[in-house]
Structure 1
Amino acid sequence: MTEESRSADQVSGESLTRLPQLWRLLRGHGRQVFAATLLTLLGTLVGLVQPVLVKKVIDVAQTGAVASWLVVALLAVFVTQAAVDAVGRFLLDRTSEGILLGLRLRLTSHLMRLHMRVCDRQRIGDLISRANTDTSMVREAATHSFSDIVTNSLGVAGAVCLMVWLDPQLFLLVLAAVAIAGAIVLTVLAGIRRAANEAQTSVGDMTAALERALSAIRTVRACQAERREIERVGSHARDAYRAGVRLARLDSTVAPAIEFAVNGSVLVVLLIGGLRVADGTTSLGDLVAFLLYVTYLVMPLSSLFNALSTAQRGLGALDRVNEVFTMPREHDRAPRGGQVSPVVSLQRVRETPVVEFRDVWFGYGDRPVLKGLSFALPSRGHVALVGRSGAGKSTVLELIERFYDPDRGQIKIDGRPAGSMTRADTRTLVNLVEQQAPVLHGTLRDNITYAVPEATEDEVRWVVNEACLKELVARLPAGLDTEVGDHGTLLSGGERQRIAIARALLARPALLLLDEPTSQLDMLNERALTETMREVSTHRALLVIAHRMSTVRAADQIIVLDEGRVEAVGSHEDLLRTSALYRRLLSAGPDPEPDTLAGKAETTRL
């Protein structure tokens, strides 16, 4: 069996079996799709009446009479068909927009809840491409392929029946030309979905590469890497071009095949039919009607082939969309059992610890990070988390925030196993300020009130003061209503960090997690923020990843991590006496100035 035969068989089987995957998207829109399809079908049936009327007009004209009512009826049929087709097409397009909206909303909801491990691996630009370009292609295939396949199949069947009724011998000749064209089209359809999938994947890669470069445009230009990034994006663009050319080559075969069927059929009918009219075997009216039915057969057949081609493209895009729906999302689960190790208590308190780690093990893939980590945080107070790079400090914050779940052991939040709480409940009690301090596009007010959009003006003023933002608000042209740019590009690093702190403070969590909050602050603002943290810690718990000695000394207690375990716990003075690792961390170098902290080697940081 040749490759072309195998491809044709693959299309005839796979297309039919996989089309229901597209049409399942029509659920909830059945009435609209049915109405649109019914109107389109009605227009097709009205069109099938036209050749019969034309035949009657010609036959009557040959007798020397003028059948004005037939002419009026013919015009009425033309107008009716156009109006019905227009209404049906509008209903179908409106329904397809509704399907696109529903698919994008579902996809967005899934993307917003993807498990953090998935977010770490996937490229954001590619996911955006799937939610944008791929869904549009699926929309087109789901609605129009269904309507076109149903109506054109019935249109072809009707035209075939009427052609057989008019002249069976001429029909067999037309059938031969159509069969040749059909075999060619079915052969190339096998590669259309593969080529469309490759093209969409390349477009997704190109979008991801462009998003990567534009999101770090200052770094790109500072490193004079524009040419490399242009080449990277261009490489994916060229891949998309090559896939598009393959798709165009396949599509270019479809149109000539259909033209062959149309032109060949018309020529055969004119030649053979003309001879039969000349010898009186058939009438001129029969020949004209049959010739019209040839076009009525080939055009729906052409639309049918195009619908199958669109369906193949849509199935390729649907595969990429469905890949997103198979990506795991965050979910709540019951706590795992198992023995736990003794908890290292930071200080004796009568209240329930806000967080407890009991023999917690966790790793990224096959790389273990936490190895039986145990400690407890009091419900109030300022606790610093220090250690060498890779000791697991940031991982601790991510586990508390429940971006990940431990592989073994147990985490308790406010005395309850974390697994018995929903993530929403956990994140109501806990809020995180990331080291990168992301700022979203919008106004300064939008960013500060992001976690509490219903915050009052008094609450906003309080948090602006607490996060040392009063001077910034006074300096901005529209104050709190000033646009901050995409990713906060119109702000300095220190301003973005203070905004992130204000956003977290406004939510008034029981536990505030701060990942190196003073890294981008000048000495005056650092001193003010340290005072704010001291005040905040009298009402709630603070867990701070600290690299600066000034931040470490301000803590009530310090946890020293080493290779995923607690090496020591105590105050600054206690640890100087009892912890050799803590002393080594201090001796790595003097506390750097705020503006030079980023230049320190990671291994010399606490």
Structure 2
Amino acid sequence: MPGSQTAKQATRNSALWRLAGRYRATLITGTILGVIGVAASLAQPYVIGRLVRAAGLDEPLGWLIAVLCLLFLADAVFTSLQAYLVGRAGEDIVRDVRGLLAGRLLRARLAAFASHPQGDIQTRMVTDTSLVRIALSQSLAQLTINGFMVVGGMVLMFLIDVWLMLITLGCLTVASCLALLIARRLRRAALRNREDTGSFGTDLQRVLSALPTVKAARAEGREQQRLTALADRARNSGVHVGALGALMTPAVNVGLQASLAIAVGVGMTRVADGGMALADLTAFIMYLFYMVSPLVMVFVAIGQFQQGRAAVQRVDELAALPQEEAMPPDGARPGWPDHSHPSAVHFQNVHFSYGGPQSPQVLSDATFTVPARGLTAIVGPSGAGKSTVFHLIEGFYRPTGGHIRLAGREIESLPLSSLRAHVGYVQQDIPTMRGTVRENLVYAQPDATEEQIGEAIRMAQLADVVALLPAGLDTQLGDQGTGLSGGERQRLSIARALLSNPSVLLLDEATSQLDARAEHALRQVLRDLSRSCAIVAIAHRLSTVVDADRIIVLSDGNVRATGTHDELLRTDALYRQLASTQLGERYERPPPLRPAR
């Protein structure tokens, strides 16, 4: 009982059910039209009975035939209108559900989003939302319309002969109980099948996103076996769903067939001894025939609704993801807290763990300051927490302890719109999306002018690349930027960040795929840019940051040392080891940069 109450409460609180409420009027109208069609169907056996009686009495039949034809026409018209309205409402619901989910996913907190495999998310967005349409529109309408048909037919059959109807009802009750039992098991099986299908989608995306690695490792056979095993598991659970669904119709049909046989046998006996008119038996049998399809459809709709409820549950889980605050419309650029403040970023005793306070700390008591102008580098071994620093500055995650201030303001007090409008971020994995070069370039600044675009391209050393593209900035790129080399995609990402004119620019290993010449040119660009904003660069290649104004050495989540390259070579053993490993003991500085003016 508590579980049932919980399920009912969850249904009432479902975002999808509330969304479907927008189309209540259309669904109700469609249902009413369907009920009118049902009424026309229920009247047909009565008119046919009158037709049989009139024929036996040699009375005129023309008007009865005309009425019967009108009933046939009304049944067809109203049933068609019902199907159209309910179908349209179902498509509208799916569109709105997918739009809602798209917004919820895009605004979800990264920690919550990362807890769901992306392949499973795609399955829920595409396949499960299609099943939601069935649950929230078609199955409910079918339940109402066919249920009315069944109840109306039973009432009229009771009026014709009570005892014959009681015998028929007993057979139908047994069949209905069996069908309801199957329907309950069908919902559990459908939920398992949706989960298995999501697992297959997740693994498929994992393999396809790393297809070059799979081929290089000669792992095609192993991955095919793994995917086949997951497909087989989804197939087995799908077969289980199909088997239960296939049992629904026979369970009802057995009851109907038994009812029909008994009704015909008992009815003919009563007609023979004069206890029942032949016209009444004809009408009774016709009502029983008319109930066959609606009664089957009632239980089919119950089965569909149970499968749809499983999909609704999975979709509601996505709709319930914790959200970031709402962003303003594209193009809005809220102000930075204080451009005159001496520090751009300040970490004070910051602690952070991706799994919460009880999990291993990625950052532990980290304290450092990034000035409002100049180039600050963050170096350290893998796992030291360098990328985590950027995630916290961008507001992707919240620290589990300590304080982070931007331009003197607590980061929690800043609207995300202001924070991300003024903090540019170039990721390590060089995200480039399908679309034109221009669309990728202006992604964060869609209202950029041609002059601003040209300046960003020049500063990122991308002008020569664009000039060689077949359609220039309008050249189409494939998934993950196919059509550009790794270094070209990296420069495109840098140009995209520069186009936003950020107050703080975060570069996560931004020169990893640049050659020596392009790296030296970009170092000069960063030096020039650092006169007007704060640049924070994560660097595994120390040659890119030896000219930094300040270098922060991270180790095991702690700030180990801070200073210039020359200072750290003298004072910090870890930095000296990193420099020795990468640059050799006989280190020679790269060509000097021209002084900033």
TM-score for both structures, normalised by structure 1? 0.90
Q: What is the identity, as a one-letter code, of the residue corresponding to 1:363? A: S
Does the CA-based 8 Å contact 1:513-1:543 persist in structure 2? Answer: yes
Does the CA-based 8 Å contact 1:53-1:74 persist in structure 2? Answer: yes
Q: What is the identity, as a one-letter code, of the residue corresponding to 2:465? A: L
After superposition, where does 1:221-370 map in structure 2 within 5 Å? 221-331=215-325, 351-365=341-355, 366-370=359-363
- For residues 562 and 19 of structure 1, do their structure 2 counterparts lie closer, same or farther at Cα, with a shift above 3 Å needed? closer
Instruction: Note if 1:164 corresponds to 2:158.
Output: yes
Partner residue in 2 for 1:177? 171
Question: Between Structure 1 and Structure 2, how many residues are aligned?
Answer: 568
Rounded to whole Å, the distance in 1 between the matches of 2:498 and 2:183 is: 59
Does the CA-based 8 Å contact 1:15-1:312 persist in structure 2? Answer: no
Partner residue in 1 for 2:504? 511
Does the CA-based 8 Å contact 1:12-1:186 persist in structure 2? Answer: no
Does the CA-based 8 Å contact 2:113-2:321 persist in structure 1? Answer: no
Partner residue in 2 for 1:442? 435
How far residue 120 of structure 1 moved from its aligned partner, in angstroms, is 3.0
Does the CA-based 8 Å contact 2:350-2:366 persist in structure 1? Answer: yes
Q: What is the identity, as a one-letter code, of the residue corresponding to 1:482? A: T
Deviation by residue 1:548-575 (Cα, 9 ceiling, x = unmatched): 2321213122111222222222211222
- For residues 245 and 13 of structure 1, do their structure 2 counterparts lie closer, same or farther at Cα, with a shift above 3 Å needed? farther
Does the CA-based 8 Å contact 2:422-2:500 persist in structure 1? Answer: no
Secondary structure of the corresponding residue to residue 553 of structure 1: coil
Partner residue in 2 for 1:77? 71
- For residues 38 and 412 of structure 1, do their structure 2 counterparts lie closer, same or farther at Cα, with a shift above 3 Å needed? same
Aligned counterpart for 2:536 among listed residues 527, 535, 543: 543
How far residue 537 of structure 1 moved from its aligned partner, in angstroms, is 1.0
Does the CA-based 8 Å contact 2:341-2:407 persist in structure 1? Answer: no
Aligned counterpart for 1:116 among listed residues 97, 101, 110: 110
Deviation by residue 1:183-238 (Cα, 9 ceiling, x = unmatched): 22112112101110111111111111111111111111111111122122212211
Does the CA-based 8 Å contact 2:123-2:201 persist in structure 1? Answer: yes
- For residues 421 and 23 of structure 1, do their structure 2 counterparts lie closer, same or farther at Cα, with a shift above 3 Å needed? closer
How far residue 119 of structure 1 moved from its aligned partner, in angstroms, is 3.1
Deviation by residue 1:258-287 (Cα, 9 ceiling, x = unmatched): 221232222222222233333433222212
Does the CA-based 8 Å contact 1:19-1:311 persist in structure 2? Answer: no
- For residues 410 and 12 of structure 1, do their structure 2 counterparts lie closer, same or farther at Cα, with a shift above 3 Å needed? closer
Rounded to whole Å, the distance in 2 between the matches of 1:372 and 1:531 is: 34
Q: What is the identity, as a one-letter code, of the residue corresponding to 1:330? A: E
- For residues 401 and 350 of structure 1, do their structure 2 counterparts lie closer, same or farther at Cα, with a shift above 3 Å needed? closer
After superposition, where does 1:560-579 map in structure 2 within 5 Å? 560-579=553-572
Partner residue in 2 for 1:527? 520
Q: What is the identity, as a one-letter code, of the residue corresponding to 2:77? A: A
Does the CA-based 8 Å contact 2:253-2:296 persist in structure 1? Answer: no
Rounded to whole Å, the distance in 2 between the matches of 1:79 and 1:262 is: 27
Query: What is the RMSD of the two structures over their aligned residues, measured on CA atoms?
Result: 2.2
Aligned counterpart for 1:552 among listed residues 545, 549, 561: 545
Partner residue in 1 for 2:380? 387
Which stretch shows the higher mean deviation, 189-198 or 268-277?
A: 268-277
Aligned counterpart for 1:93 among listed residues 87, 93, 97: 87
- For residues 37 and 454 of structure 1, do their structure 2 counterparts lie closer, same or farther at Cα, with a shift above 3 Å needed? same
Rounded to whole Å, the distance in 1 between the matches of 2:6 and 2:278 is: 44
How far residue 330 of structure 1 moved from its aligned partner, in angstroms, is 2.8
Rounded to whole Å, the distance in 2 between the matches of 1:477 and 1:385 is: 38
Rounded to whole Å, the distance in 1 between the matches of 2:252 and 2:342 is: 77
How far residue 13 of structure 1 moved from its aligned partner, in angstroms, is 9.2
Aligned counterpart for 1:62 among listed residues 56, 70, 87: 56
Does the CA-based 8 Å contact 2:546-2:565 persist in structure 1? Answer: yes
Secondary structure of the corresponding residue to residue 182 of structure 1: helix
Rounded to whole Å, the distance in 1 between the matches of 2:465 and 2:388 is: 32
TM-score for both structures, normalised by structure 2? 0.91
How far residue 370 of structure 1 moved from its aligned partner, in angstroms, is 1.3
After superposition, where does 1:406-555 map in structure 2 within 5 Å? 406-555=399-548
Counting aligned pairs with the same residue, the percent is: 39
Aligned counterpart for 2:574 among listed residues 581, 585, 603: 581
Aligned counterpart for 2:29 among listed residues 29, 35, 53: 35
Which stretch shows the higher mean deviation, 24-33 or 284-293?
A: 24-33
- For residues 125 and 307 of structure 1, do their structure 2 counterparts lie closer, same or farther at Cα, with a shift above 3 Å needed? same
- For residues 591 and 488 of structure 1, do their structure 2 counterparts lie closer, same or farther at Cα, with a shift above 3 Å needed? farther
Q: What is the identity, as a one-letter code, of the residue corresponding to 1:288? A: T
How far residue 16 of structure 1 moved from its aligned partner, in angstroms, is 7.8
Secondary structure of the corresponding residue to residue 435 of structure 2: coil
How far residue 351 of structure 1 moved from its aligned partner, in angstroms, is 3.8
How far residue 325 of structure 1 moved from its aligned partner, in angstroms, is 2.9
Does the CA-based 8 Å contact 2:541-2:582 persist in structure 1? Answer: no
How far residue 306 of structure 1 moved from its aligned partner, in angstroms, is 1.5
Rounded to whole Å, the distance in 1 between the matches of 2:577 and 2:313 is: 54
How far residue 481 of structure 1 moved from its aligned partner, in angstroms, is 0.9
Deviation by residue 1:112-171 (Cα, 9 ceiling, x = unmatched): 122222233321010111111111112211112322222233222211111011111221
Instruction: Note if 1:193 corresponds to 2:187.
Output: yes
Secondary structure of the corresponding residue to residue 476 of structure 2: coil
Partner residue in 2 for 1:378? 371
Rounded to whole Å, the distance in 1 between the matches of 2:10 and 2:556 is: 51
Aligned counterpart for 1:142 among listed residues 124, 136, 147: 136
> Which aligned runs of 4 or more in structure 1 are off by greater than 4 angstroms?
9-25
Does the CA-based 8 Å contact 1:11-1:186 persist in structure 2? Answer: no
Which stretch shows the higher mean deviation, 141-150 or 422-431?
A: 141-150
